Amino acid sequence: MTALRRRTLLAVLLAGGTMTACTEQDDSATDGTGGASDGGGEAADPGAVVAESSFFLRHTEVAVRLHPIVRSGEHLVLTVDLTAEGDAAEFEDQYVVGGTLTGEATSAWSDGWGSASGGDTRDFLGVRLVDLAGDQVASTAVDAEGETVGVRADNGETADSGTQALAGTVQIAFADPGTDALAVYLPKLPLVIDVPVIEADVPAVEGAEEQLDLSAIEEAPLEPMLLMSQDLAEPLRETRELGATTVAISSDVLFDSSSADLDRKAKSALDEAAQRIESHEPGPVTVIGHTDSVDSDASNLTLSKERAAAVATALEKRLDTSDYELSTDGKGEAEPIASNDTEGGKALNRRVEIVLETPLREEEVTREMPEFEGRAGTAAEGVRFDGSEQWVLRPFDLQLGAARMLEDHLVVTLEVTPRDEDRSGVTGIGQFDDGIGMPTEPDGVSTYTLLASSGAVGVLVGSVLTYPAFHRAGGPSETTRPLTDLSLNTAADGGVPRILELVFPRDIAGVEAGAEVALQYGTTGPLAFANESTWRMTEVPIGA
């Protein structure tokens, strides 16, 4: 078990936590670890191997080889080869049976709760092309039925006993962001960067019943990254997308029930909101009131407008209105962000939003990190769970592989290793994220999505917790997904490590090469909830 763990972590560290695609066509260009090479020139051959790595299906190591991304008309095509070798009886015990290697990869690289998290069950939803410089994410293209436009084929050698060699190829269509190189997000592997995009014919997939049909594409999602953060010291949440920033304040700390008169306890939240506004360049500011569904539509609309006006009046005393011109609006109960069927959902819907469309100034972190009551450890120590915590079904270790900056984005590699000997093929490792790590969820994201991903694990700087980048993934359900593994609940064998890769939005205050930050799942303070599986990892060094 130890040897497996050491090998995987070593490969990540050798690559600085990422894999850099080599561009030599000669096989000697790769170093066998998935790390960066000294290759030069441009790979014009769609059959060339530009990056290599591996991951585990149960306790079978699967080698992964990436080819250049091929541009064909308005779309891109990614081709990935998979191979594994082992004892036939072992494969049988692990359900990794000859001829189904790509089928197992489909499960590992899709949405683990797709049937419950918005109904998006398309294959390979977790595989994405990432334009880090342009802050865009391309999800799998879909056909008229909402299924991924792609092909997969297995062509390994099957055997009843002895050594068995499995092999297969996965080919997926995406939108074209228009760049010459992209990062490739493959769940359970470090991010692969600088994969070249070439003009060439789409390579045929050996053994496929039908080849890739790009004319079947109905939609090819290409969407911007969405930033979501919350202040653990104040009841403020922030989202940022396409140049617009929204700061949301809970109405429960601003007003008494059904009132538009500001409460005395509102002062701290309003002071912080004014500081958030001043962290942006001068420009117009819109204050929008929202309510829950209690009372009539008409009275809720009136209350929301009155509350927006009250907040705007208070902000006028804290801001230079010649720099920040304030306007107000009210939406009543028309734009909920949570269900009004629960008290918690109603509380989230009662809010006042402050919308800014100007860029951030250089921001300094002034608040201290709040105290924390969950599991904690430094990056050097890791965080350990013994399996007795609520929602935690097995003991496991959580360790840092790497944290580094790529195109001003923080990219974090975590390694999770179950410490038990369970190899039943039933239990996954998603237990540290029980789906309630965020106080609110962006449109298109369900609790089930967070249950099956590490999307609720944030980077903590001072008192502000910022989550991994979210993006819309299109499809019939118009789903939104975090730029993380979406299938933590697939079976994990005891003693076998699993890589969790988290890609964060750019422009997070205090996040830069050379800085130290914390990683945290679960919250404390005004937005706290009861959850024994919360954890914090401190003293996380960020590399270049």
Q: DSSP string covering 83-139, please? A: EEEEEHHHHHHTT--TT-HHHHHHHHTS-TTTTTTTS---TTTT-EEEETTTTEEEP
Pick from 241, 336, 248: nearest CA to 292? 336
Beta-bridge partners for 148: 142
Domains and CATH numbers, the chain: 2-223 (no CATH), 244-356 (3.30.1330.60), 375-541 (no CATH)
Residue 396 confidence (pLDDT): 87
Residue 464 token pair: 């502000």
3-state secondary structure of 148: strand
pLDDT confidence of residue 164: 78
Q: Helix 297-316 and helix 266-278: axis angle, to 10°? A: 70
What pLDDT, on a 0 to 100 scale, did the predictor assign at position 141? 97
Q: How many residues does the chain have?
A: 544
Task: In whole angstroms, give the CA distance from residue 340 to residue 322.
Answer: 39
Q: Which of 237, 124, 228 is nearest to 445 (CA)?
A: 228
| pLDDT tens for the chain, residues 1 to 544 | 233 333 333 343 334 456 677 654 444 333 333 333 333 334 479 999 999 999 988 888 999 999 999 999 999 999 999 998 877 777 766 665 544 789 888 888 987 665 444 556 789 999 999 999 999 999 999 999 999 999 999 887 666 677 778 899 999 999 999 999 999 999 999 999 999 999 999 999 999 999 999 999 999 999 999 988 888 877 788 888 777 889 999 899 899 999 999 988 899 899 989 998 998 999 999 999 999 999 999 999 999 999 999 999 999 999 999 999 999 999 999 998 877 888 878 888 999 999 999 988 766 556 788 888 788 999 999 999 887 766 667 888 999 999 999 999 999 999 989 898 887 766 766 545 444 445 455 555 555 555 567 888 899 999 888 999 999 888 877 778 899 988 876 777 888 888 999 999 998 989 999 999 999 987 644 444 445 568 899 999 999 8
CB-count burial class (<10 Å; 0-12, 13-18, 19+) for 253:
middle
462 vs 449: CA distance, rounded Å:
27
Which tokens sit at 122? 């398309």
For residue 95 the two structure tokens come to 């359900």
Say what the pLDDT of residue 98 is: 46
Instruction: Tell the burial category of 307 from Cβ atoms under 10 Å away from its Cβ (0-12, 13-18, 19+).
Output: buried
Quote the pLDDT of residue 288.
97
pLDDT of 363 reads 62
* Predicted pLDDT of residue 504: 97
Positive or negative CA dihedral for 476, 477, 482, 487?
Answer: negative
Contacts of 322 (CB under 8 A, 6+ apart): none
Residue 304: its H or E element: helix 297-316
Q: Where are the alpha helices (DSSP H) in 395-508?
A: 447-452
